[in-house]
Structure 1
Amino acid sequence: MARLLWVWFNTAMAERPAAPPPLVTVLAILLYIGGGLVVVYALVGLGSSAGAVTSMLPVWGQALYGSLYVGLARALQVGLRWAWLVTMALCWVGLAVAVLYVFARGPQAAVAQGIWPAVYLVLLTRSSVRAWFAANLPPTEERPAGE
């Protein structure tokens, strides 16, 4: 198990420059803060009623949800492509929930629900961020002409 964690932690760093682009660091910090706050609120017993997902979860589920975001932040920081794809998918889901909030709770609640997914999408789609995660793609095989 320790070997698997070591490989997961160090794989991306061996194949990339030493430091991620600044926007990747900003993304990771935002996820660390958000996930950490969800965990702290859950452990203190306050719970979180701010998000659409966290408000539906029990306290232990909120702690697990916050831990997921902390793990996702680390995966983004080391440059794992799956983390970029998962984060993109979660942002689109968040925006879809915000659209539903327009009809269910009004435009003010929709803006509050959709602001963070929109910020993340803007950061995730910058060229430096896309290039950082594209470096992890497997090389494409060149085929001879005529195949």
Structure 2
Amino acid sequence: MSTPAPTATAVTPLTTQDAEILLAAARRAAEAAGVAVSVTVLAASGHLLASRRDDRAVLISGETSTRKAYTALQLNAPTAGLVDLVKPDGPFHSLPTARDRPLLFIAGGIPVHRDGRLIGTVGVGGGASEQDHGFATTAVNNLVW
């Protein structure tokens, strides 16, 4: 007699309401630090759930926040921990150009997990790398399950 295969437990995906919470929390953290940023939230599918660029944020921050979120999604890892891996002497030095859509290895992209499964990402751009990482981390920590 065979043992039945375990069934996968459905995990609630990242919702637009979750995305708005992430966006607002990252922006509050940035405002408290006096930094103008852009924030992007992607679903696990890679589709855009929310994006916002502060009026004073540099224009490129919209692109960097999106690419940071995309990179965190593709590798299911915070972008801050990936920076050394893609340096010329790093084990993945060619990874930034390995895909059609470029990855960005600058701190500020954080995966969002629910019940241990990747459900989306948040990316922040516009501040110093460490600031962007902190703002994104604060955003994820503000989600209440």
Normalising by structure 1, we get a TM-score of 0.29
Larger radius of gyration: 1
Normalised to the residue count of structure 2, the TM-score between the two structures is 0.29
Structure (1 or 2) with the greater helix fraction: 1
